[in-house]
Chains A and B, each alone.
Chain A
Amino acid sequence: MPAEIERLYDAHAQSLYAFLLNFTRDEFDTRDLLQEIFVKLAREPKLLSGIRDERAFLIRLAHNAAIDLIRRRGTRERTKENFAENISPFAPAQNPDDEIFRNELSAALGELPEDQRAVVHLKLWGELTFEQIAAALNLSPNTAASRYRYGLDKLRERLRPLYEEMKKAE
């Protein structure tokens, strides 16, 4: 049993962490949610039996847990929505220009509605297909695709000046 939990952790914890961090922007909350997911997996070993796509299933668990957390937070911590001040889901960059871009991207992602942010994250950094995203977030693939398109347009609009500047510099 511990071996199975270790395997699941090694295979999926990094992507779950990134997904959850993009949602919560708080390391403590992310860790709590990750712990909650692995407790659930340890308690119910049969949870994954018959599941074809482990990653999509675990993302679904993570998404539900994150939504619950955000509801629990309620108005108490609405201030956390000022994501620019919270932890970024991106690793610090060595190049200062990249660092600026990552910070701006982190803030722009934080401004997206949660449903669009989840799809954009899973498509760009989770490397899931729209079918997988649809399965993970309980959507139709078309809805997932349209949310991605809306989200990406907003990011591009928000980051356009910086992006154009960086392109010129290259």
Chain B
Amino acid sequence: MMNEELEQFENRLRRQSLRPIPAEWRAKIIAGAMSRVSKVESRGQKDFRLSTLVSRLSTVFWPHPKAWAGLAAIWIFIFILNFSMRDKTSVIAEKVSPPSPDVMVQLKLQQRMLAELIGANDLIDAERQKIFLPRPRSERVEILAA
């Protein structure tokens, strides 16, 4: 009796029809599945191309690996040498402070003496006018009066 009741209940449940799958899903789901597969395949082709390139490079480099390694080492040495020998004068010039006025005067005097020795008088006159010797104010007044 109990089992019969249970069976009836089961049968009633079984008779309840399920919601049908929307018809428009079929095309979309199948297309979606196939497109994902084609993407995976194209990625696989890219990987294949990369591996082909690697294998070709290895066929070129593999016969004499020591020679290629030596060549690479030479290039690295040249690069390091070039880097260490780079002209540093501009860097030094930036770091050095401008010469003091006294040093400038000394340089000008040396220049003039050199010019006198080689006989370039015109140059001396022109240079003389340009030379500015910083002096005490009292001496400047004397110069102006003279």
A-B contact pairs, 28 of them (CB 8 A): A1-B37, A2-B34, A9-B26, A9-B29, A13-B21, A14-B20, A17-B19, A17-B21, A18-B19, A21-B19, A31-B25, A35-B32, A39-B33, A39-B36, A39-B37, A41-B33, A42-B36, A87-B19, A88-B19, A90-B18, A90-B19, A101-B12, A102-B16, A105-B16, A125-B14, A125-B16, A152-B6, A155-B9
What's the least CB distance linking A112 to chain B, in Å?
12
Q: Chain B's interface: helix, strand, loop or mixed, by majority? A: helix
Q: Chain A contacts of B32 at CB under 8 A?
A: 35, 38-39
Task: Specify the chain A residue showing the minimal Cβ separation from B12.
Answer: A163
Q: Chain B contacts of A125 at CB under 8 A?
A: 14, 16, 18
| B40 in the interface (beta carbon within 8 A) | yes
What's the least CB distance linking B39 to chain A, in Å?
10
Total residues of chain B contacting the partner, CB 8 A: 23
Q: Chain B contacts of A156 at CB under 8 A?
A: 6, 9
| B96 in the interface (beta carbon within 8 A) | no
What's the least CB distance linking B33 to chain A, in Å?
4
Taking Cβ atoms with an 8 Å cutoff, the residues of B that contact A are: 6, 9-10, 12-14, 16-22, 25-26, 29-30, 32-34, 36-37, 40
Q: Chain A's interface: helix, strand, loop or mixed, by majority? A: helix
B18 and A2 within 8 A (CB): no
What's the least CB distance linking B31 to chain A, in Å?
9
A43 and B37 within 8 A (CB): yes
